[in-house]
Amino acid sequence: MTNSAQLDQLCINTLRTLSVDAVQQAQSGHPGTPMDAAPTVYCLWQHFLRYDPQHPNWPNRDRFVLSSGHASMLLYSLLYLCEVQATNSSDEQTGGLAVTLDDIKRFRQAGSRCTGHPEHGWTTGVETTTGPLGQGVATSVGMAIAERWLAATYNRPDYDLFGHKVYALCGDGDMMEGVSSEAASLAGHLQLANLCWIYDDNHISIEGRTDITFTENVAVRFLSYGWNVVYVADANSLEQLARAYNTFLSTHDRPTLIIVQSHIGYGAPHKQDTKEAHGEPLGEEEVRLAKEFYGWNPDIQFHVPDGVQAYFKAQFGLRGTNLQAAWAHLFASYRTQYPDLAQQIDRMRHRELPEDWDSGLPVFATDAKGMATRDASGKVLNAIAEKMPWLLGGAADLSPSTKTQLDFEYAGDFQAPGELGDYRGRNIHYGVREHAMCAISNGLSLSNLRPYAASFLVFSDYARGALRLAAIMKIPVITIWTHDSISMGEDGPTHQPVEHLASLRAMPGMMVLRPADANEVVEAWRVIMPLKDRPVCLVLTRQALTTLDRTRYASAKGVARGAYVLADAPDQKPDVLLLSTGSEVALCIAAYEQMKLEGIKVRVVSMPSWDLFECQDRAYRDSVLPPQITARVAVEAASSLGWERYTGFEGSIIGLDNFGLSAPMKVVVQHFGFETSHVVAAVRKQLMRHKTGGLKS
């Protein structure tokens, strides 16, 4: 064996033993995949990955996504051995290593950078949070789309600023999840030749051998998607692995799937090919046997032999340092020749907006007939996108219904270059793939583009895994959900969302905005666009809503504070509060006007965003919802769950605690009591209880 081959094997076994020791010490985790996939990932990082450990957020770095998030110790071991530096999102070093040996020794313990599954934003070098299977590979498609778009938009002759590759390590579980199939199908259609999935085919899942559930021909499936498929028969052959990676690099018309045949827990003689090597520590005896198999001292834990880190630095590190330095020099020259384009790239990297991004936003005139908030949003979206070239996205086959098509000149469609469009296009057609759409949007955002994704609110159910990860990662993905209530009418209960607002509001870090008219939509977008550290759900109507007269009622700028007094008693001392969001605000205004004629003192509060309202100081919140006024009615065509926070247990909630009805819109609305007379009756009942002592003020 040559000296380099010996060093290769030493590095691979160090990756294995660090992973095994960390899992054993934590008494928690998955040692099997780090053991069997170590050669696969080592070959990629040491010999192919374009990545500078000194600048791990370098824009043109290759991306490595560990979709098999349970194998997190493999990634942490690599980050440590490669001496990847800890940096912030601006690629500024914050001091020290991204992962230290102490972090590895404290795997899965509080405060360690080595969490149970990789967490983006917590550990430098983790490109995306993974763990829920299928999410990593689906997100990697977004990263690949981002590279194609960046290259097509910003590269110029002699200035290839963008040309990086996206690699994702996945396993049997990823291949079983539906979101992976959605994403792979779209990636094949788009001919994303910069995308490589590495399938660690070890035939094991938590319940045992995969042949109890999973016997399809994965290769044929991916060939049907339009992928190139490459086999590696021996996961421990660096020669075969290198040949597979070179095949990917020489393929220019389609994504590549590399199927690597491996044995889980390789080197754990008694637990080889068993589920125990996958889902729990090996045990002290098996750890000793594994180390002896590798030629390791079984009595030493967390051992890093001399020469291992130096060997990574001499190949992986030196290659990345040289490539990053060359890129920085190229970008400096590009900045001189194309200053406007360079400024756009700078703004993207720092999640900044163009200076005049909101200069062309519409102002909607008072109109009793009004317009659907989806229509108003479409106008605002196009106005912003014209000023912000890196705002792009699409819908799950519903852009005509969600009004999310960018229709200004040169917006274009993102497609493989041809008669349908090219990679410069800003309209992404996702097909009926809600879950992949949102995971792909996460990948676009992690590449510093500003993506939006759209569908009907009821179909947010299909995307929840990706939505939740966006919230965990604190990335500013914009999701637009239309057809937001029972006013869908004839489509019936299957398409009429009920519990969805409550569900999205319950998600930590997810901002939910449900504007009441066209001008609240404008102000909602003013809130959305400056966001840097949280995703948002913009919830919109299909049906037309009155555009309120803002000379009679409060300015829509109150949206920025989440809730505001829209209409008030003449003396600003109301006896009852009417609280509402979205389409039901106009209903509350109609009730307010009727009761005003009767001398009943009512305050109408528009509450488009509970999240924003809760961020306000106590003085403001009390000014909008005075604690001493306990006669309260909330009106929303959705589940009543959560409204008791604002109405109190004695207040009234006009909501939905059942599924919808298939009938014309007016019939459905009347059936569920969303009528002026019903709101007025609820207010009267609150006031009566108050006067008779049933409520305290």
CA distance 255 to 170: 15
Q: What are phi and psi of 74, to 5 degrees?
A: -65, -45
- Quick count: other Cβ atoms within 10 Å of Cβ 629? 16
CA distance 515 to 538: 8
CA distance 14 to 311: 12
**What is residue 93's three-state secondary structure?**
strand
What single-letter DSSP state applies at residue 316?
I
Q: Are 118 and 130 in contact (CB under 8 A)?
A: yes
3-state percent helix, strand, coil for the chain, nearest multiple of 5? 45, 15, 40
Q: Are 119 and 129 in contact (CB under 8 A)?
A: yes
Q: Specify the pairing of strand 564-567 against strand 602-606.
A: antiparallel
Catalytic residue among 434, 520, 523, 636: 434
What single-letter DSSP state applies at residue 366?
P
Bridge partners of 544?
A: 372
CA distance 195 to 144: 6
Query: Measured in whole angstroms, how far is the alpha carbon of residue 143 from the centre of its chain?
Result: 12
Residue of 177, 224, 173 whose CA lies nearest to 199: 173
CA quadruple 316, 322, 325, 329: dihedral sign: negative
Cα-Cα-Cα-Cα torsion 349, 353, 356, 358, nearest 10 degrees, comes to 150
Q: What are phi and psi of 461, to 5 degrees?
A: -55, -40
What single-letter DSSP state applies at residue 399?
H
Residue of 653, 655, 548, 567 whose CA lies nearest to 606: 567
CA distance 416 to 438: 20
**What is residue 478's three-state secondary structure?**
strand
CA distance 398 to 321: 45
Tell me the angle at which helices 434-446 and 464-473 cross, rounded to the nearest 10 degrees: 20
Cα-Cα-Cα-Cα torsion 661, 664, 670, 676, nearest 10 degrees, comes to 130
29 CB contacts (<8 Å, ≥6 apart)? 22, 23, 70, 72, 73, 107, 108, 116, 280, 281
Sheet holding 652-656, edge to edge: 564-567, 602-606, 576-580, 632-639, 652-656
CA distance 334 to 210: 51
- Active site includes 434? yes
DSSP H or E segment with residue 247? helix 238-249
DSSP H or E segment with residue 349? helix 339-349
CA distance 191 to 323: 26
- Quick count: other Cβ atoms within 10 Å of Cβ 412? 16
Q: Which residues carry out catalysis? A: 434
